Chain A
Amino acid sequence: MQYDLVCRPASTAVRFALDAGESITCEVGAMIAMSSGITVETTSKSRGGGGGIMKGIKRMFTGENFFLNHFTSQQSQQTLLIGPTLLGDCIHHPLRSGSMVVQGSSWLASSSSIDIDATWRGFTSAIFSGESMFWVKCSGTGDLFLSSYGAIYPIQVDGEYTVDTGHIVAFEDTLQFKIGKAGKSLIGSFLGGEGLVCKFQGQGKLYCQSHNPPSLGKLLGPKLKPR
């Protein structure tokens, strides 16, 4: 399977060149265009084998869709073009071992060999950081495509690293994620507008995005007409 990222970085899309029998699992609604030799199958299962209804339901809690779309090429030299919902960048992460914890809306697509599951992040982090209670856990060996709102930054963490809530795209399973206060005092943190932040500890790769979707929501929400 070959891919390339087109129109980087502001409105990135991923273009796949698929050979007969190759397939890719995507977020529902991600498809932009495709050749006629590709078939689409919508299920709640991930192709890797596991899954089913429970995983579909769990996935819904992460903000992802209950269903997944599997695109399989029936012929050689087929093209599939996919893109994220929000304006922003996409990146490719080769998953070689272990797993990647992905923030709900950032998962875009992955090789069919990768298992997609939801993982519980706890009430505290959800309530106080505005992050989702569930995250998407991708494990196996294959290619992972993540999307961001705004630009995407890869960071190699070794030790400790602090990221503002809402700016996390994904992180490797070797990183520990904790909610902490930005400043010395908690009240100071709240008043400083930074509130609570996410602190990463350990060694591993972390992807951050330059903008955060909840802020956009807060900005736009009141200006939208009710439907």
Chain B
Amino acid sequence: MLDPNQQFRGGVFHSSIPDGRIGADIRITPSEIIAEPSAEALTVMDPSQVARMPRWVIPLSECQVDLGGASGRMVFCRNKERDLTIFCEERGFAAMLGDRSGGMLSEQLHVVKKRQAGENHRFRFWLTVGVVATLLFGVIGYYSVLAAARLAIAAVPISMDEKIGSMAMQTIEKEQKLAADHPATKFVTEIVDRLKPHAAIPEMNFKVIVIESSEVNAFALPGGQMVVYTGLLKKAESGEQVAGVLAHEMSHATLRHGLQRVSQSLGIVAAIQFLIGDAGGLLALGSQAAQTSILTSYSRQSETEADLEGARMLHEAGLDPESISAFFDKLKKEDGDIPGVLVWVSSHPLHEQRIESIAKFKSTLAKKEYTPLDLDLATVKESLK
């Protein structure tokens, strides 16, 4: 039930009020809205002003209501001339207005609410359109930069890859490097020699070293220098599995993924510098980026490219393309849960998808008899003990 004598706290806007606004106590009679200055408002007021403070009245019959204020729930009542505003945010005020006006003002408030909801809705719609458009611009921009970087890289001589690769090589600990005549070094060199003629860039200066480390890892630097860890050789079950890893890594080098990484991380500016041949500035930038972690962690797209290119090389070299998958599978099955050690696997994620895509690619190749590698992995493993 509504209490007919209920007072509401609110305020009044009128030109006769100093500052234009005053806090007021509001009552609604069956015919009028009556506002009187609140006690607090009077205490801070000059006594001479207090005497002149009138009470403000808006007949319900000519009242125009609106909603607004910081909360959006403040009710504003205006007279016909719209020079007097009585406002209130208190609960029950709107209901009382509706009740006293016989529903007429509730109807008005309802219309206002509906209109505001519509405005908000329209704005949200345009905001969404704007955000989507902005994102689209961003995505298009991103891919244009990528495409531009690829074009720029194509124009850069391979010697640039080699320079960056050599710089990165200097940062690698080579104390544990096995001698060139070590059985393990000879083993991987022979594999690389067999694959080399089938590389996309056969004249690339492929070199491979073996480093003594328990890490199961291998990587290629830009320009074709590769590093294989003894941990990987110990884990491999066959020469083909090692060949699979090496073919994949050689593909990263011939597809110039390292340079793509550099250009993406340095941005289009560096790519343009590549093009105009400001090699000095580039090398300075390159030396910052010449950390193997940057140069050898690739995007998923690059990994897939390297898989397929590696599979192609293996096929041409008379080796089974699925050697790449085989090694993956073995590592994952045996030690999938041990983090840290299997660096090569952890830096090459999503292996189910990759195994699948290699199998699919193999099925598109002409049928061929694959000849196993005539290499003795067992002897190599023996020499590593």
Once bound together, how far apart are the Cα atoms of A177 and B134, in whole Å? 25
B70 touches A186 (CB 8 A): no
Contacts of B9 in A (CB 8 A): 97
A174 touches B44 (CB 8 A): no
B126 touches A177 (CB 8 A): no
Once bound together, how far apart are the Cα atoms of A130 and B86, in whole Å? 33
B21 touches A176 (CB 8 A): no
With A97-B22, A174-B87, A187-B133 given, is the CB distance from A202 to B69 under 8 Å?
yes
Once bound together, how far apart are the Cα atoms of A128 and B69, in whole Å? 21
CB distance from A120 to the nearest CB of B (A): 10
B44 touches A202 (CB 8 A): no
Chain B 16-49 per-residue mask, 1 if CB under 8 angstroms from chain A, else 0: 0001111110000000000000101101100000
Give chain B interface residues in 337-352, CB to chain A under 8 Å: none
Contacts of A178 in B (CB 8 A): 123
Chain B 70-89 per-residue mask, 1 if CB under 8 angstroms from chain A, else 0: 11101010000000010101
Contacts of B10 in A (CB 8 A): 98
A173 touches B134 (CB 8 A): no
A141 touches B44 (CB 8 A): yes
With A176-B69, A203-B85 given, is the CB distance from A187 to B130 under 8 Å?
yes
Contacts of B74 in A (CB 8 A): 173-174
A176 touches B72 (CB 8 A): yes
Once bound together, how far apart are the Cα atoms of A180 and B119, in whole Å? 11
Contacts of B22 in A (CB 8 A): 96-97
CB distance from B188 to the nearest CB of A (A): 43
**Interface residue B140 (Cβ < 8 Å from any Cβ of A):** no
CB distance from B249 to the nearest CB of A (A): 36
**Interface residue B127 (Cβ < 8 Å from any Cβ of A):** yes
**Interface residue A214 (Cβ < 8 Å from any Cβ of B):** no
**Interface residue B365 (Cβ < 8 Å from any Cβ of A):** no
CB distance from A173 to the nearest CB of B (A): 5
**Interface residue B68 (Cβ < 8 Å from any Cβ of A):** yes
Task: Count how many pairs of residues, one from A and one from B, have CB atoms less than 8 Å apart in the complex.
Answer: 83
**Interface residue A201 (Cβ < 8 Å from any Cβ of B):** yes
Once bound together, how far apart are the Cα atoms of A217 and B21, in whole Å? 37
**Interface residue B286 (Cβ < 8 Å from any Cβ of A):** no
Give chain B interface residues in 128-184, CB to chain A under 8 Å: 129-130, 133-134
**Interface residue A198 (Cβ < 8 Å from any Cβ of B):** no
**Interface residue B13 (Cβ < 8 Å from any Cβ of A):** yes
A96 touches B23 (CB 8 A): yes
Give chain A interface residues in 189-223, CB to chain B under 8 Å: 190, 201-205
Once bound together, how far apart are the Cα atoms of A181 and B130, in whole Å? 10
The chain B residue sitting closest to A143, CB to CB, is B44
Once bound together, how far apart are the Cα atoms of A180 and B122, in whole Å? 11
**Interface residue B239 (Cβ < 8 Å from any Cβ of A):** no
CB distance from B128 to the nearest CB of A (A): 10
Contacts of A124 in B (CB 8 A): 124, 127
**Interface residue A79 (Cβ < 8 Å from any Cβ of B):** no
Once bound together, how far apart are the Cα atoms of A40 and B64, in whole Å? 50
The chain A residue sitting closest to B88, CB to CB, is A98
Among A177, A186, A205, the residue within 8 A (CB) of B127 is A186
**Interface residue B321 (Cβ < 8 Å from any Cβ of A):** no
- Extra inter-chain contacts (9) besides given A171-B70, A202-B76, CB under 8 Å: A97-B41, A98-B10, A174-B13, A175-B69, A175-B70, A176-B70, A186-B126, A186-B129, A203-B85
User: Which residues of chain B have a CB within 8 Å of any CB of chain A?
Assistant: 9-11, 13, 19-24, 38, 40-41, 43-44, 68-72, 74, 76, 85, 87, 89, 123-124, 126-127, 129-130, 133-134
Q: List 8 A-B contacts (CB under 8 A).
A: A98-B23, A119-B70, A124-B124, A124-B127, A174-B68, A178-B123, A187-B133, A201-B68
